[in-house]
């Protein structure tokens, strides 16, 4: 249960099965808050893991993420364990386990053999429905930058979002975020509310690009 202090709800504690170091001289470590509202804490043991967490957090089909997820198995008298960098719980009940490694690390035959064996066991016992390997080649810079912005607006502002919806719900065609923000007459709150509408899939950008005030957006058809 979340702690409360002066009416502020703190993020839910990390559900990781293994704690990472708070700092390292050799590589990036990070502790961030993802999710919606007060959110939940997650930790990353590398910059690549951090980027992957942000991107997964921005996906509409992802319900929750659990990092450093322990998988243990036994086979023919032998036991083993592996920590998946993140386990994604999708809204349809599907679970995807991710291993995140730099491209230079995944080319070795030994790594491939180990991951092939771990994947077979994980799927056979129902630990997850799919295993995916992510390298820096799989992280699109546009997705990453936009995902970081979406994570920054996890806290709702119902009043501002209601004002923003009153304009976008009658939008004919597309308009820039700058123009829509001006129409709301609530400045930064209006812009933030519009970004939340994009995050939640109500608004979509007309073109694949970094989202800025110049970005033209329109209502998603399913919300009209």
Q: Count the Cβ atoms, other than its own, within 10 Å of residue 212.
A: 10
- For residue 83, give the DSSP letter: E
DSSP string, 20-78: PPS--SSS--EEEEESSTT-EEEEESSHHHHHHHHHHHT-TTEEEEEEEEEEEEEETTE
Q: Does the pTM of the predicted model rise above 0.75?
A: yes
Q: How confident is the model at residue 224 (pLDDT cuts 50, 70, 90)?
A: low
For 136-192, write each residue's pLDDT tens digit: 999 999 999 999 999 999 999 999 999 999 999 988 899 999 999 999 999 999 999
Euclidean distance between CA atoms 218 and 65, whole angstroms: 29
**Domains of the chain and CATH, by start:** 4-139 (3.40.1350.10), 156-223 (1.10.10.10)
Structure tokens at 58: 């921005």
**Coil, helix or strand at residue 217:** strand
For 38-79, write each residue's pLDDT tens digit: 999 999 999 999 999 999 999 999 999 999 999 999 888 788
**Coil, helix or strand at residue 6:** coil
What is the maximum alpha-carbon separation in the chain? 68
């Amino acid at each position: 249960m979340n702690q409360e202090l002066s009416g502020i709800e703190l993020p839910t504690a990390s559900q990781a099965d293994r704690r990472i170091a708070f700092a390292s001289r050799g590589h990036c470590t990070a502790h961030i808050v993802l999710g919606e509202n007060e959110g939940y804490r997650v930790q990353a043991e590398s910059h690549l893991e951090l980027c992957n967490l942000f991107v997964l957090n921005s996906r509409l089909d992802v319900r929750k993420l659990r990092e450093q997820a322990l998988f243990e198995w036994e086979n023919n008298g032998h036991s083993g364990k592996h920590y998946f960098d993140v386990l994604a719980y999708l809204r349809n009940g599907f679970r995807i386990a991710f291993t995140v490694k730099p491209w230079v690390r995944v080319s070795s035959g030994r790594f491939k053999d180990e991951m092939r064996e771990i994947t077979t066991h994980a799927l056979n016992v129902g630990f997850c429905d799919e295993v995916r390997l992510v390298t820096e080649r799989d992280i699109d810079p546009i997705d990453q930058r936009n995902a970081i912005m979406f994570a920054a607006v996890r806290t709702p502002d119902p009043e501002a979002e209601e004002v923003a919806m009153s304009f976008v719900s009658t939008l004919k065609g597309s308009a820039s975020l700058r123009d829509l923000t001006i129409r709301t007459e609530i400045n930064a709150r209006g812009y933030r509310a519009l970004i939340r509408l994009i995050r939640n899939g109500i608004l979509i950008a007309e073109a694949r690009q970094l989202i800025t005030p110049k970005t033209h957006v329109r209502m998603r058809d399913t919300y009209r």
